[in-house]
């Protein structure tokens, strides 16, 4: 019987996704320690929040269920990232770094962590939707790229726990040809257009629906951070790169912003919301145009792989199209491939939320645990 | 830099799925041998078809691209399965057994192969939808169960390459509670009812639609093998067991057969087809009943996890329901869970066909290759 395994876990970020993850880690840790054949012991050995960190030089475990009060009592100033990488590399056990932040700075250091043998799991889009040079650097370092370092998984960087990243990777690795990717990749945009123009008719003015989405917490504090389309563009960048396109950045292809030009530079989000109604005419015109063709408007991302064209913006869909039938704030991803032919492989469901995002990260952690060599 | 890895592959079955798999294996093998950091060499060391086998005692590789003529020229009588297990266990390299048959006998021997350290990947439902004792035996032997033996993966046993099995496993392993599973799990039943009662109205008589499906190759040679519902019941058994239900067998819960009782014992399939029209009245009545409620009829499987109830048969759905909107012969799987709430995680697309079924098997092989220890 193999000896029990010990794996050390370092968690960056303890906000919405981070706190859900810590709760899932606590259950997972209890479950894995009970595995009758090869018990695995997970130790939380470092936890960071904003500019503070809890850790100790002996890699002694932090009681996960008590993390909040421990952070309050025992925090030290956060280590700079290169020092953090050096510190984790000294661990006598394998280390998995769980990045629950949305920090570009952390993402920029993934290659450094990976090269030191530290595996990374994350929902953070920044490492995969930033510059193409960073994407290359990450997968040149990782064992599931062409490198020799740690493993890296990022299922939740697109559509939370919906199996989008892993499915696309499987299609490519098994030799299928992905021809087109299309879908609604933003819960906010989904909710907004499902209400602005439901397939059955109806819906309020565009500014009213933006206000409704904001009041219900479906938008960022400044709704322009959703309406500019960059969140969708980042996800599309990741999906496109997964199928082999060398997309330079999320701003290197056309992204239609829904922010009226005149309101782009308004400083106060409240002022923006107050003035948005004055620009409802343009969206109303598009809505009428679509309705006259028996179609509905949806905000979609698409990749035409053969033509190497990415696009994010408004499109019209027949009311019988699955994209038109989307409900609530659900995401939908359609993968058109050579082997699937005319009828795409479709994945649909909630693409945001603390628990389902953390679940993707926890799933990735389980994958890494399986891949780390067992002690003999 | 780690030394190149060598993994031996034994393939059982070279029919529809098997021949597609061999073609995918040939491409995969070429690709993996080119991996700049850790080249992996896959050798096909055994291939069986019906009662014959090609192999040699030195585990010398068979040229994959030439498998057909090699089988014709060099076949020997197939080894009995226990002898096959002993033979493969003598391989100096790790072995993956690829079961592309639909044989119960092969499935019954999975625990034996696994205990000898041989990993198994397969689209064969029989090991997972047979007796519960076999299911337990398999996962008590496998390293991804509670055992120490080989790894076993069976993505394509439900919905071909659609990521159903892996997604359910991820949900359970990360601590989500799956509450209900519902969907159309049979391409034949999907095609039949999408045509018999399209959401927009229309459709021929039931016997006409069965004939159409048969003529287009969507049914088994004897359509009763689809109409009895057992294919759906087997898939439901697998899904239910994945979420923890101890389902005794696919006949231990209600399965509605669409074969008129009077025609169950008709021997000749052609005679069955000729007589089926005489029983169209019952299905016509159900169709009218559904239509009067503004609904459509679909043949679905469902698992109510809390009540531990499985059911396979006809159900009525509102025409706005995603199950009603299914097209062609597509499958749909809806997973209702605690974390996903009201809106399920949905996976949809082709759930049958040689290429997409083999693709699931190839994907599983890649997973096993990652998990097999690297030479140092």
Average pLDDT over residues A304-313: 97
Q: Which residues of chain B lie closer than 8 angstroms to A362, CB-CB?
A: 174-175
Residue A125 assigned ligand-binding role: yes
CB contact (8 A) between residue A166 and residue B163: yes
Dump pLDDT digits (tens) for A41-56. 999 999 999 899 999 9
Q: Which residues of chain A lie closer than 8 angstroms to B182, CB-CB?
A: none
Dump pLDDT digits (tens) for B314-361. 999 998 888 998 999 999 999 999 999 999 999 999 999 999 999 999
Dump pLDDT digits (tens) for B6-46. 999 999 999 999 999 999 999 999 999 988 777 899 999 99
Average pLDDT over residues B285-310: 97
**Does residue B281 come out as left (phi exceeding 0), alpha (psi in the -120 to 50 range) or beta?**
alpha
Please state which architecture CATH assigns to domain A165-350.
2-Layer Sandwich (3.30)
Average pLDDT over residues B159-177: 97
Closest residue of B to A169, CA-based?
Answer: B363
Interface test with B, best of A339, A361, A373, A374 (most B CBs within 10 A): A339
Average pLDDT over residues B204-213: 96
Average pLDDT over residues B42-68: 95
Domains A5-161+356-371 and A165-350 alike in fold: no
Give the fold, CATH level 3, of A5-161+356-371: Rossmann fold (3.40.50)
Give the integer Cα–Cα distance in Å for B121 and B134. Answer: 16
For residue A376, name the pLDDT band (cuts at 50, 70, 90). very low
- The percent of residues in chain B predicted with pLDDT above 90, rounded, is 91
Dump pLDDT digits (tens) for A340-352. 999 999 999 999 9
Every domain of chain A and the residues it spans: 5-161+356-371, 165-350
pLDDT at A36: 73
Of B38, B175, B325, the CB nearest to A322: B325
Token duo for residue B99: 């079961």
User: ipTM strictly over 0.90?
Assistant: yes
CB contact (8 A) between residue B163 and residue A161: no
Closest-CA distance, A271 to chain B, in angstroms, reads: 34
Give the integer Cα–Cα distance in Å for A232 and A45. Answer: 35
Give the integer Cα–Cα distance in Å for B160 and B154. Answer: 9
Dump pLDDT digits (tens) for A168-186. 999 999 999 999 999 999 9
pLDDT at B376: 41
**Collapsing DSSP states into helix, strand and coil, what is residue A100?**
coil
Q: For residue A276, is pLDDT > 50?
A: yes
Average pLDDT over residues B216-235: 94
Residues 6 or more apart whose Cβ sits within 8 Å of residue A141 = A110, A111, A114, A115, A147, A149, A150
- C-alpha closest to that of B340 among B178, B167, B162: B178
Give the integer Cα–Cα distance in Å for A84 and B89. Answer: 45
Strand partners, B13: none
- Whether the pTM exceeds 0.90: the reply is yes
Residues 6 or more apart whose Cβ sits within 8 Å of residue A297 = A193, A196, A197, A286, A287, A290, A314, A315, A316
Closest residue of B to A343, CA-based?
Answer: B349
Residue B101 assigned ligand-binding role: yes
pLDDT at A54: 98
């Amino acid at each position: 019987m193999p000896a029990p395994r010990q794996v050390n876990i370092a968690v960056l970020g303890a906000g919405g996704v981070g706190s859900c993850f810590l709760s899932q880690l606590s259950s997972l840790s209890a479950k894995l320690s009970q595995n009758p054949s090869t018990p695995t012991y997970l130790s939380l050995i470092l936890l960071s929040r904003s500019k503070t960190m809890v850790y100790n030089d002996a890699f002694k475990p932090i009681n996960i269920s008590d993390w909040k009060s421990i952070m309050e009592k025992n925090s030290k100033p956060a280590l700079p990232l290169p020092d953090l990488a050096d510190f984790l590399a000294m661990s006598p056990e394998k280390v998995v770094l769980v990045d629950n932040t949305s920090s570009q700075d952390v993402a920029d250091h993934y290659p450094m962590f990976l090269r030191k043998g530290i595996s990374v799991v994350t929902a953070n889009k920044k490492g995969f939707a930033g510059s193409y040079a960073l994407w290359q650097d990450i997968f040149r370092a990782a064992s599931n790229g062409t490198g020799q370092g740690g493993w890296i998984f990022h299922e939740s960087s697109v559509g939370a726990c919906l199996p989008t990243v892993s499915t696309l990777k499987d299609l490519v690795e098994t030799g299928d040809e992905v021809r087109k990717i299309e879908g609604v990749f933003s819960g906010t945009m989904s909710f907004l257009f499902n209400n602005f123009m439901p397939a059955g008719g109806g819906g309020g003015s565009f500014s009213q629906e933006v206000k409704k989405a904001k009041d219900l917490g479906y938008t960022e504090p400044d709704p322009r951070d959703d309406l500019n389309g960059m969140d969708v563009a980042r996800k599309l960048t990741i999906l496109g790169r997964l199928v082999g396109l060398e997309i330079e950045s999320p701003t290197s292809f056309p992204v239609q912003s829904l922010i009226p030009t005149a309101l782009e530079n308004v400083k106060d989000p409240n002022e923006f919301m107050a003035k948005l109604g004055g620009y409802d005419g343009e969206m109303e015109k598009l809505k009428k145009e679509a309705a006259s063709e028996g179609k509905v408007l949806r905000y979609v991302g698409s990749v035409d792989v053969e033509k190497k064209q990415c696009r994010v913006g408004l499109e019209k869909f027949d009311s019988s199209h699955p994209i038109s039938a989307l409900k609530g704030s659900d995401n939908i991803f359609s993968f058109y491939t050579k082997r699937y032919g005319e009828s795409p492989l479709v994945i649909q469901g909630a693409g945001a939320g603390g628990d389902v995002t953390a679940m993707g990260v926890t799933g990735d952690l389980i994958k890494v645990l399986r891949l780390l060599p067992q002690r003999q």
